[in-house]
Amino acid sequence: QVQLQESGPGLVKPSETLSLTCTVSNYSISSGYYWGWIRQPPGKGLEWIGYIYNSGNTYYNQSLKSRVTMSVDTSKNQFSLNLRSVAAADTAVYYCARFGAGSGTYFDIWGQGILVTVSS
Amino acid sequence: QSALTQPRSVSGSPGQSVTISCTGTRSDVGNFNYVSWYQQPPGKAPKLMIYDVNKRPSGVPDRFSGSKSGITASLTISGLQAEDEADYYCWSYAGSSSYVFGSGTTVTVL
């Protein structure tokens, strides 16, 4: 079945850039679907970050738009998240996920998540 | 975009039914039939339970059902079981390619 796996540094210094990659297994990103990022600060709720199509079209949460860039690498079957100028408030578990078929307005497959801590 | 409003917690005894509400606005929940629900056990990733208001993915027990009236969507768990203890989040399309999550509800099985 389709699997997603987040990877990247678990510790990022304040003001630097958080960079994460999501590797997709058992499905070719080139074939379609939208792919997204969601985060969850410790003990808090889920926050949508944004999503991307295999063509590179991106859609970001307005609250993070000025600091977020997403990209897709179809040759590696991966998509990535860059979050600039991070602060302690960006400490969270970051999930990658796939938008489902049909209406395409829900996440049907999730990665296990990766904890990223922002600290000097 | 403010988070959709959910009760902080609900509880019930095994076998009972519980309902979680998710209140939005006429710009999101009230305007689109694109509400989904996610179950998140402690320390785990969320899992899709309901999509498009009332559709159940393959493998999700039919004890879980979804509905919507006006600006409020609801998730009902019938025949509550110990394994249903988790956090639950709603999620809605809000137009212009944007989305919003609910604030989350903790379900406790007494």
pLDDT digits (tens, 9 = 90+) for B48-90: 999 999 999 999 999 999 999 999 999 999 999 999 999 999 9
Cα dihedral sign, A59-A60-A62-A65: negative
Residue B34 and residue A111: Cβ atoms within 8 Å? no
What is the number of other CB atoms lying within 10 angstroms of the CB of residue A7? 14
DSSP character at residue A97: E
Q: Please indicate if any CB of chain B lies within 8 Å of the CB of A105.
A: yes
pLDDT, mean over chain A:
95
Mind telling me how many Å the CA of B99 is from chain A's nearest CA? Answer: 7
Q: Do A103 and B57 touch (CB under 8 A)?
A: no
Q: How confident is the model at residue A49 (pLDDT cuts 50, 70, 90)?
A: very high
**B1 pLDDT above the threshold of 80:** no
Ranges assigned E (strand) in chain A = 3-7, 11-12, 18-25, 34-40, 47-53, 58-60, 68-73, 78-83, 92-99, 107-110, 114-118
Interchain pair B45, A112: CB under 8 A = yes
Asked if the Cβ–Cβ distance from B101 to A107 is below 8 Å, we say no
